[in-house]
Amino acid sequence: MLYGTTYGNDRENDLTITDIRPFSLETAQADLDDLSARLDRVRWPDEVPGLGRRHGVPLAELKRLVEHWRTGYDWRAAEAELNRHDQFVTEIDGQSVHFLHVRSANPGALPLLITHGWPSSPVEYLDVIEPLSRDFHLVIPSLPGYGLSGPTREMGWGSTRIAHAWLELMTRLGYERFGVQGGDWGTWISREVGVLAPERVAGMHGNGIICFPIGAPGEFDDLSEVEQERLAFREKYLTEQYGYKLIQSARPQTFAYGMADSPVALLAWFASVFDEWSDAGIADDRLLTTVMLYWLTNTAGSAARSFVETPDTDQDTSVEWELKPATVPTSISVFPKDILRPIRRFAERDNNIVGWVEHERGGTFAALERPAEFVADVRAFFASLE
């Protein structure tokens, strides 16, 4: 169990539903001892030699990561790094929401709401908080059902409901007008915030954006070589990498048992994603800190449930959603190994695209992989709106 100053839905002090309470991450030593014991008695599978990563994380690679987790990784240092930033919890629509709130030294700075995707957390942004906070008041929540927000207790936490929760969060913080930023599923949620309240959102920046062809006449005419490669990747994604989505959206409860009981299963699942969806080499400790947040809160299964309600491709007919036009000024940074590899003409169909930056390196976790480029793009876009 994680202990914080007010973690969870504590009502001992007769708190009202709109209260925002300070949070400090304090992990019970018994939980760390339990984790250590589990890592000491791993039952390893066999492996067919010579396949590389075609069937997932190679056995030798996962053994290396587990050994580092056991003997080299320092959770208390990671915990202290998170606690250097102001953290809070509040309850919105019956759900606990954890968030970092880092105020700029400039009182007139624009508030910026940053939303992560899966399998991520505010850890993704630790390396960009300091430079971004020179220009923005930062609000970085943990998604409902993910990590320090704790598990969801009911279905229905799709992008629209989360966007409503984010608007309420910004209202409670006193931010009437603000910018939004997102990666992975966070781009969809950030876009939805702008759809729901365009008068409050100054602009939306995404590293990637979910967009796809709709069968309109001429939409494939004169595609560039890069755009053709991105269309081809869509097919590869559906045949080779869509399994992450299918397993978690089709049988999230069955999936949850292994994730709740085995830290190595959880690490293998996340390590495979971080490898396949990134380009610049994510540090082992950042990966392990992300895994730790899901392990200690037992939210891998809860996060998996969110896939039931997450639109992902035009093939995703099981999700009820409606694509509404977005009028908020939007800039997209495209990183070549991102799981989202948008084509501008498709993005422009339903979004007010005013900026588009193509990068030579980087992937889904841009703030971790290419922090300097990420910061530069966010700053430049919002500065252009002033």
Statement: residue 5 has pLDDT above 60? no
Residue 248: its pLDDT value, please? 75
CA-based torsion, 129, 131, 134, 135: positive or negative: negative
Cβ–Cβ < 8 Å for 206, 184: no
Q: Where does the pLDDT of residue 306 fall: very low under 50, low under 70, confident under 90, or very high at 90 and above?
A: confident
Q: Is residue 149 part of a domain?
A: yes
* Beta-sheet pairing, 95-102 with 110-115: unpaired
Residue 71's CATH number: 3.40.50.1820
Residue 246: its pLDDT value, please? 73
Q: Is residue 132 part of a domain?
A: yes
Domain hosting residue 266, numbered range: 2-15+22-42+55-384
From CA 248, how far away is CA 262, in angstroms rounded?
A: 17
Mean pLDDT over the full length of the chain: 89
3-state secondary structure of 205: strand
Q: Is residue 365 part of a domain?
A: yes
Residue 240: its pLDDT value, please? 66
Work out the percent of the chain whose per-residue pLDDT is above 70. Answer: 90
* Over residues 271-283, mean pLDDT: 87
From CA 129, how far away is CA 104, in angstroms rounded?
A: 10
Q: Is residue 261 part of a domain?
A: yes
User: What pLDDT digit, counting tens, does each position of 356-386 carry?
Assistant: 999 999 999 999 999 999 999 999 999 999 8
User: What pLDDT digit, counting tens, does each position of 102-155 carry?
Assistant: 999 999 999 999 999 999 999 999 999 999 999 999 999 999 999 999 999 999
Identity of the amino acid at 362: G
Gyration radius of the chain's alpha carbons: 20
Q: Is residue 49 part of a domain?
A: no
Domains held by the chain: number: 1
Statement: residue 2 has pLDDT above 70? no
Comparing CA positions, the residue from 353, 315, 305, 349 lying closest to residue 332 is 353
Residue labelled with tokens 């976790």:
365
Element holding 183 (H helix, E strand):
strand 178-183
Cβ–Cβ < 8 Å for 288, 221: no
Residues in the chain: 386
Residue 6: its pLDDT value, please? 37
For residues 77 and 223, the model is more confident at: 77
From CA 116, how far away is CA 185, in angstroms rounded?
A: 7
User: What pLDDT digit, counting tens, does each position of 12-64 carry?
Assistant: 344 455 699 999 999 999 999 999 999 999 999 999 998 888 888 999 999 99
Residue 324: its pLDDT value, please? 80
From CA 112, how far away is CA 102, in angstroms rounded?
A: 10
Q: Is residue 263 part of a domain?
A: yes
pTM reported for the whole predicted model: 0.91
Q: Where does the pLDDT of residue 230 fall: very low under 50, low under 70, confident under 90, or very high at 90 and above?
A: confident
Q: Is residue 50 part of a domain?
A: no
Q: Is residue 47 part of a domain?
A: no
Please state the separation of Cα 317 from the chain's center in Å.
Answer: 23
Cβ–Cβ < 8 Å for 204, 179: yes
Q: Where does the pLDDT of residue 348 fall: very low under 50, low under 70, confident under 90, or very high at 90 and above?
A: very high
Residue 80: its pLDDT value, please? 98
Statement: residue 234 has pLDDT above 90? no
Q: Where does the pLDDT of residue 233 fall: very low under 50, low under 70, confident under 90, or very high at 90 and above?
A: confident
